[in-house]
Amino acid sequence: MNETKATRLERATTDGGAEVATLTLANPPLNLFDQGMLDALIADIAELSANPPRALLLRAEGKVVSGGVDVHVFDGLSVEQGAELWRMLFAQITHPIEALPCPVVFAAHGLTLTAAFEIALACDIILAAPKAKFGLVETVVGLTPSMGGPQRLAERAGSGRAREFVMTGDLYSAETMLEWGVVNAVHDDVDTAARELTHRLAEGPTLAHAATKKIIEAWRSGGVAHADSVTPEVSGVLFDTADLKGAVRSFLDVGPGKATYTGR
């Protein structure tokens, strides 16, 4: 377990023995993305990339998920320094989260602004509490969101909605985000729901989940034709996994829904 002042990374096992990890933003009172938070998050994500669990939950503790980025991070940056900041955040936070070979769930229990929402959009599934609110409010300092938020929001909700969301700088409810297809589900007890979903996904066929992510990534980068072109190889290798072999045998012997998976 890697603990820092600003984040907490914990690993545990499900009842079925699958490893899950929980990465918690813990930088009170507002979980601001200051330099300490960014450094801690980068270190945690590097550890997860080096030793992936079978599912990951991203969450926050405190009254809000995050009040956004500490504006001191931007103060006095030159054009070159600003561009390098975004390149670094893509390379060390956004892209590694997306590249994790396991399901990644984000739980939003309250206000989720700027960097926190952009990180949520890099996850596979977003769950929210009814009182959660979301915003990309970088216009208050003359910026546009630059950790991938606009394009990932456009992927989920459409380009028109993404332009509205970013240009107005307004806050949007969990219900609206659900209607737009940005949030997957709204739960009164989002923390419990997210933990239960993460455990359920961790006990599934991990290599098949990783293949699903690869196919969808191919679609994101090159459309349906590109995804079709990579699917035979990406899916084909699953026939050499213990999970597929065991699940096929289980299906034939005792019927569907009885297989157990080891992630191999």
Q: What is the pLDDT of residues 207-253, one digit of tens each?
A: 999 999 999 999 999 999 999 999 999 999 999 999 999 999 999 99
Looking at the structure, tell me whether residues 196 and 105 fall in a common domain. Answer: yes
Choose one of 178, 202, 226: the last residue of a domain. 202
Contact 133, 64 (CB under 8 A): no
- 171, 223: one domain: no
Using the structure block, give the residue that is written with the tokens 């007890």. 189
Say yes or no: 49 and 136 in one domain: yes
Whether residue 234 lies inside any domain: the answer is yes
Average pLDDT over residues 167-180: 98
Does residue 134 share a domain with residue 220? Answer: no
Question: Any idea what the CATH number is for the domain that residue 35 is in?
Answer: 3.90.226.10
| Domain annotation covers residue 103 | yes
Same domain, 133 and 226: no
Question: Do 168 and 240 fall within a single domain?
Answer: no
Within-domain flag for 41: yes
Any domain includes 264: no
Kindly report the number of other CB atoms within 10 A of residue 75's CB atom. 8
Residue 41 in tokens = 């998050």
Q: Are residues 62 and 158 in the same domain?
A: yes
**pLDDT above 60 for 125:** yes
Q: What is the pLDDT of residue 86?
A: 96
Q: Looking at residue 1, what is its pLDDT? A: 43
Per-residue confidence (pLDDT) for residue 222, from 0 to 100: 97
Torsion of the alpha carbons at 161, 162, 164 and 168, rounded to the nearest 10? 150
Q: Same structural domain for residues 6 and 120?
A: yes
**262 within a domain of the structure (yes/no):** no
Say yes or no: 11 and 87 in one domain.
yes
Question: Residue 263: inside a domain, yes or no?
Answer: no
Kindly state whether residue 109 falls inside one of the protein's structural domains.
yes
Q: How far is CA 222 from CA 47, 90, 198, 233, in A?
A: 30, 19, 29, 16
Question: How many structural domains does the chain have?
Answer: 2
Q: Tell me: do 189 and 226 sit in the same domain.
A: no
- Give pLDDT, residue 4: 52
Same domain, 223 and 236: yes
Q: Token digits for 17?
A: 């023995």
Indicate if 131 and 143 belong to the same structural domain. yes
Note whether residue 97 is domain-resident. Answer: yes
Domain extent, residue 228, equals 206-254
